[in-house]
Chain A
Amino acid sequence: MRLCALVVGLMVVAAPLVVRAETMGRHTLDRLDPATAEAVWNIAETARAQGVPFEPLLLTALEGASKHAPGERIVAAVRERYAALAAAREALGAESTPSEIAAGAGALMSGVPTDTLARLRQQRPKGSLLVPLVVLADLVTRRVPVETASSAVLHASRIGAKDADLLRLRARVESDIKKGVSPAAATLSRLQGLGASLPGAMTTGGSR
């Protein structure tokens, strides 16, 4: 009886994982030509064996298929994503969530150095890094110089900016850039404004 309960309990616990694996299994690559699907799946299997999130790799391949990218381009993009995921995992730590690693990979592919990811993790050893990583990737994608973007997000985190503050900073920088302000100037200006609005920012961030 206990054995039955144990089996049922295990099935309940494992069901979401099984469904997930079923959802993002080999068959999701059926939209690709067989050779490309095989190459992508091999990379995904390697990633899975190393503890690197593999679902983003399959999704990268599907994205390429939807953009009608040729097979070799898709495989190259998947390899690039795999390298970014592995580097992000190493920089952020193996305990990071798959979402954080995926967001970190996005930041790395946008041009953010791995060192910035590691420093962000040092500043927030426990808290989620999703939003800082998303903001970082966005700033760099909007042509904010990598050093400026990295410094801005690190500084904002250091002075206690919350996720909502970071998202507001990003939105204001985007708005300034659309008005013709240079990306670097917009970022520095908005960072100053953020610093002034945060209690304790001068004592925490201003002394550094």
Chain B
Amino acid sequence: MKTVVPLLALALLVGSAPAKAFPLQTTAGVAAWYDGDVPVSSFRLAPTLALDGTHAVLVGGAMLAGSDMQTPYRGARLAGAWIFAPIERLPLELRVSTAHRDGPHDPSRGLLRAEGRLNFAAPNLGGWMALATERAIGIDGHVINPMMGFGAWTRHHGLTLSVDLEQRSGLLPHAMSAVPDTDRTSGVADGSQSDGGHLLRVALTTTRASLHWQAARLEVESVGGITLSLLREPRRWAQASAAYQVAPDIAMFTTFGSRDPELYLIEPADTPRATLGLKLSNWRSASLDAPLVARAGAVRWQARRLEGQSWTLEVRAPGARLVEVTGDFTQWEPLRLDHSGGDRWQTTVMLEPGVHQVNLRVDGGAWMPPPGAPTTADGYGGTTGVVVAE
């Protein structure tokens, strides 16, 4: 019952968004990594189903992993986010995620997290603050709720820089058999409980900075931070990753380093590792790390005549999931562009000779004049872009 209700709520949240906003995509990955000083042959298969819309994302996936150093284990996760804006520029984002892991020699455990984020979102910068609550499944003990988080981001020409501070649970591979009670006077939620004598559930406070860049077929991310816990020394971590789209639905990716310990629940990664894999999807990432409001923006625009009155409209929008155009030539109805790979979107329209008004919208955000296009007053207190078709 405890798990069914949140899952139903999650399904309800996602189901309330427009159906056309949900292109169905799948991601599958196979990876091998080198672990610490010991070469480890290992595999990871992670089929993921993503419903990726303008105002909501639902990511569900399973993970099968094993190596000659570790016992095989399996994991699953389901995460969703829904964003709505009762006040302009102050969108609210609700996130629910759950993760589970077990294996032949692995105790079953899971975690449910619900989070509300209040965003401030301008076109190229924003910030957020969050309150979250977590509940462990199959693990005794608790952490102090609610947990908090703050963050800010800025984006320019496909480059997104974000910094944040966040509290969340993690399982640390700790050999303690007896764990002190929660230090409630520290101000840091840090309750814990032994789990099989090897893993501890602890509250972690992580300060993180990330740089993400996407252009054409290449996507590069660098993320690093420091994670604090009362149970052990502060831990610095960093990971660099890159993905290159070799075909519309296939991307090669590589990572090096380790991520913050929040991922320990289903994927232990205490030591730096290198991975190489293949992603079978044109979806850029099955991650909910980036704020929905910070995901995409149009950086380049071009209107090119094909022949006669037939014109191609091309938009470069790194990280976009949906790009739409509207204008007098569509009688001001939104027209969805086709994703032509990487950050490229395009459509073909008929433009009679003359001046045409045009606006763009990325990921369901505000209608804006295309970047670099001439503008004019629209008669409703705003501006629109202009295309001259001669």
Interface residues of A (CB under 8 A from B): 28, 56, 59-60, 62-67, 69, 73, 77, 80-81, 97-99, 102-103, 106-107, 109-111, 128, 130-131, 133-135, 137-138, 141-142, 167, 170-171, 174
Contacts and interface: CB of A to CB of B under 8 A. Distances in A.
Closest 9 CB pairs of A and B: A99-B354, A138-B374, A66-B332, A77-B379, A106-B376, A137-B376, A62-B332, A110-B377, A59-B328
A69 B383 CA distance: 15
A134 B380 contact: no
A28 B379 contact: no
B222 interface: no
A94 B200 CA distance: 82
Nearest to A137: B376
A66 B386 CA distance: 18
Contacts of B386: 106, 134, 137-138
Nearest to A138: B374
Nearest to A111: B377
Interface of B: 326, 328, 331-334, 353-355, 357, 372, 374-380, 383-384, 386, 388, 390
B388 A63 contact: no
Given A106-B377, A170-B374, A171-B372, 7 more contacts: A63-B380, A109-B376, A130-B355, A137-B374, A138-B375, A138-B386, A141-B376
A146 to B, nearest CB: 13
Nearest to A110: B377
10 contacts: A63-B332, A102-B355, A103-B355, A130-B388, A134-B355, A134-B374, A134-B386, A135-B374, A137-B386, A141-B377
Contacts of B383: 141
A80 B375 contact: no
A142 B331 CA distance: 26
Contacts of A171: 372
Contacts of B379: 60, 63-64, 77, 80-81, 109
Contacts of B326: 66
Contacts of A73: 380
B209 to A, nearest CB: 26
Nearest to B384: A63
A167 B383 CA distance: 18
Contacts of A69: 380
Nearest to B329: A59
Contacts of B377: 106, 109-111, 137, 141
A109 B384 CA distance: 12
B388 A134 contact: yes
A137 B378 CA distance: 11
A28 B331 contact: yes
Contacts of A110: 376-377
Contacts of A65: 332
Contacts of B353: 99
A99 B355 contact: yes
A62 B376 contact: no
A168 to B, nearest CB: 12
Contacts of A141: 375-377, 383
A118 to B, nearest CB: 19
A69 to B, nearest CB: 6
Contacts of B375: 137-138, 141-142
Nearest to A139: B374
A24 B11 CA distance: 43
A66 B326 CA distance: 9
A133 B328 CA distance: 18
Nearest to A64: B380
A102 B390 CA distance: 14
Nearest to A104: B355
Nearest to A78: B379
Contacts of A142: 375
Contacts of A135: 374
Nearest to B355: A103
Given A62-B331, A99-B355, A141-B383, A128 B376 contact: no
Which interface residue of A64, A99, A167 has the most chain B CB atoms within 10 A?
Answer: A99
Which interface residue of B326, B374, B379 has the most chain A CB atoms within 10 A?
Answer: B379
A36 to B, nearest CB: 14
A54 to B, nearest CB: 13
Nearest to B353: A99
Nearest to B382: A67
B376 A174 contact: no
A138 B333 CA distance: 24
